Structure 1
Amino acid sequence: MRVVSVVSTKGGVGKTTVAANLGGLLSDAGLRVLLLDLDSQPTLSSYYALSHEAIAGAYECIALNLTDTAQIISTTTVVGLDLILSNDDQARLSTLLLHAPDGRLRLRNLMDAFRPSYDLLLIDTQGARSVLLEMALLASDLALSPITPEMLAARELRRGTLKLFSELEPFRHLGITPPPLRLLLSQVNAIRVDTRMIILSLRETFAGATNISVLETVVPDRVAHLNAASLGLPVHRIETRRSRERRSPSALETMQALAIELFPEWREAISMVGKCSEVQ
């Protein structure tokens, strides 16, 4: 099972949108995907309609070490896509984990309970520095960080997310390696000149980095993402072809490119999404 955290210490960069749509695409590719919503503002938990809602969620899983799938895993209407709901609206988990001896390693120690049932665990996190975010990263084998192409976002990346990763380095002494970080340019308006300059600068900045890279895939600023969220559908299902007016790829092409770049081992299955079905 691959474990991927979608992270940023800055809010509003599209973490939940990326997590929901990446999970939806990979489920349509035939993979077994589990979403874990660790954001106290549970947007991911309400993105997809549920065919079954579990009696418990992320709070019981983390606070009580509860891994009984019948109690904590909800089922979405997207076949193959399950969800552990966010139900910590009072942010009790942060306090609990700060004082627990295994706080930052709690989720990592629970992973074996989910490995037999899923190919991928996608974790949506808070848009702020927290012990929950640190816990999610230390449980992951890959971190994906959406970043909007604006100067303030680039500064926050260095001041927040990159600083957090550097502060996790001491865990290497315990045999726990912080995950590699992949930066995803999101909400991109290719027409703006400053957008292109910032993208170029980011790529040059991390060109020689060993554990950080900027993905080739770019997620455009597209109304299709808003429509998909309103409908509770993965965006690749509602925009399967690029329009004649735009040169940029369709949502289906974009999400496939992102999924293949992150998970090349599943390229064949990902490439088949949308080949034999019409828009749902």
Structure 2
Amino acid sequence: MRVASVVSTKGGVGKTTVAANLGGLLADAGLRVLLLDLDSQPTLSSYYALSHEAIAGMYEFIALNLTDPAQIISTTAVVGLDLILSNDDQGRLSTLLLHAPDGRLRLRNLLDAFRPSYDLLLIDTQGACSVLLEMAILASDLALSPITPEMLAARELRRGTLKLLSELEPFRRMGIAPPPLRLLLNQVNSIRVDTRMIIRGLRETFTGTTNISVLDTVIPDRVAYLNAASLGLPVHRIETRQSRERRSPSALETMQALAIELFPEWHKAISSVSRRAEAQ
């Protein structure tokens, strides 16, 4: 089972949208995907309609070490896409984990219960520095950080997310290395000159860096993503073809390219989504 977390210490960069749509596309590719909503503001938990809602969620999973699928795993309307709901609206988990001996490693130690049942665990995280975010990163073998092409977001990346990763470096002594970080340019309006300058600067900054890279895939600022969220559907089912008015790829092509870039081992399965989406 691969474990990927969608992370950023800045809110409003589109973490939940990316997690929901990436999970939906991979499920449509025939993979078994489990979403874990670690955000106390449970946007991901309400993105998709549920065909079955579990009696418990992420609080019982993390606080009580409850791993029984029948009690904590909800089933979404997207076949192959399951969810552990966020149910810690009062933020009790952060306090608990700060005082627990295994706090930052709690999630990592619980994952073996799910490995036989899923191909991918995809974690949506809080948009701020927290012990929950650190726990998610240390449990992951890949971290994906959406970044909007604006100067404040670029500064927060260095001040927040990159600083947090550097603070987790001491865990290497325990044999737990922070995962590679992949930066995803999100909500991009390629017409603006300042946008192109910021994107070029980001790519130049991380060229040759071993553990941090900017993905080739760029997610444009498109209404299709808002429409998909309103309908509770993966965006690749909403926009399957490139618009005549726009030069950028369709949402299907964009999400497919992102999934292949992150998980090249599933290239064949992901490529088959094109034919399925067009047949719908």
Which residue in the other structure is 1:48 paired with? Answer: 48
State how far apart, in whole Å, the 2-side matches of 1:233 and 1:278 are: 15
- Determine if the alignment matches structure 1 residue 185 to structure 2 residue 185: yes
Which residue in the other structure is 2:104 paired with? Answer: 104
Give the 3-state SS of the residue equivalent to 2:34 in structure 1.
strand
Which residue in the other structure is 1:213 paired with? Answer: 213
Alignment of 1:220-239 (within 5 A): 220-239=220-239
Check the 8 A contact 2:34/2:118 in 1, yes or no: yes
Which residue in the other structure is 1:76 paired with? Answer: 76
1:141 aligned partner, one-letter code: D
Give the 3-state SS of the residue equivalent to 1:273 in structure 2.
helix
Check the 8 A contact 1:26/1:33 in 2, yes or no: yes
More helix by share: 2
1:92 aligned partner, one-letter code: R
Measured after TM superposition, the shift of residue 130 of structure 1 is 0.1
State how far apart, in whole Å, the 1-side matches of 2:246 and 2:135 are: 41
State how far apart, in whole Å, the 1-side matches of 2:94 and 2:251 are: 36
Which residue in the other structure is 1:257 paired with? Answer: 257
TM superposition score normalised by structure 1: 0.99
State the Cα deviation string for residues 8-65 of structure 1 (Å, max 9, x = none).
Answer: 0000000000000000000000000000000000000000000000000000000000
Which residue in the other structure is 2:156 paired with? Answer: 156
Check the 8 A contact 2:48/2:77 in 1, yes or no: yes
State how far apart, in whole Å, the 2-side matches of 1:105 and 1:200 are: 36
TM superposition score normalised by structure 2: 0.99
State how far apart, in whole Å, the 1-side matches of 2:150 and 2:48 are: 30
State how far apart, in whole Å, the 2-side matches of 1:184 and 1:253 are: 15
1:106 aligned partner, one-letter code: R
Measured after TM superposition, the shift of residue 276 of structure 1 is 3.6
2:193 aligned partner, one-letter code: V
Check the 8 A contact 2:240/2:277 in 1, yes or no: no
State how far apart, in whole Å, the 1-side matches of 2:8 and 2:227 are: 24
Which residue in the other structure is 1:67 paired with? Answer: 67
Give the 3-state SS of the residue equivalent to 1:179 in structure 2.
coil
2:117 aligned partner, one-letter code: S
Measured after TM superposition, the shift of residue 277 of structure 1 is 4.4
Give the 3-state SS of the residue equivalent to 1:70 in structure 2.
helix
List alignment gaps of at least 5 residues for structure 1: none
Check the 8 A contact 2:242/2:250 in 1, yes or no: yes
State the Cα deviation string for residues 100-127 of structure 1 (Å, max 9, x = none).
Answer: 0000000000010000000000000000
Check the 8 A contact 1:207/1:213 in 2, yes or no: yes
How many residues align? The count is 280
Check the 8 A contact 1:238/1:279 in 2, yes or no: no
Give the 3-state SS of the residue equivalent to 2:248 in structure 1.
coil
Check the 8 A contact 1:240/1:279 in 2, yes or no: no
Identity, % of aligned positions: 89
Check the 8 A contact 2:236/2:277 in 1, yes or no: no
RMSD after superposition:
0.7
Measured after TM superposition, the shift of residue 279 of structure 1 is 6.7
Check the 8 A contact 1:138/1:179 in 2, yes or no: yes
State how far apart, in whole Å, the 1-side matches of 2:220 and 2:244 are: 16
State the Cα deviation string for residues 117-147 of structure 1 (Å, max 9, x = none).
Answer: 0000000000000000000000000000000
Which residue in the other structure is 1:58 paired with? Answer: 58
List alignment gaps of at least 5 residues for structure 2: none
Change (3 A) 1:277 1:214: closer
1:190 aligned partner, one-letter code: S
Which residue in the other structure is 1:119 paired with? Answer: 119
Measured after TM superposition, the shift of residue 278 of structure 1 is 3.8
Return structure 1 stretches of 4+ with deviation > 3 angstroms.
276-280
Give the 3-state SS of the residue equivalent to 2:224 in structure 1.
helix
Measured after TM superposition, the shift of residue 208 of structure 1 is 1.6
- Determine if the alignment matches structure 1 residue 94 to structure 2 residue 89: no
Check the 8 A contact 1:237/1:279 in 2, yes or no: no
2:204 aligned partner, one-letter code: E
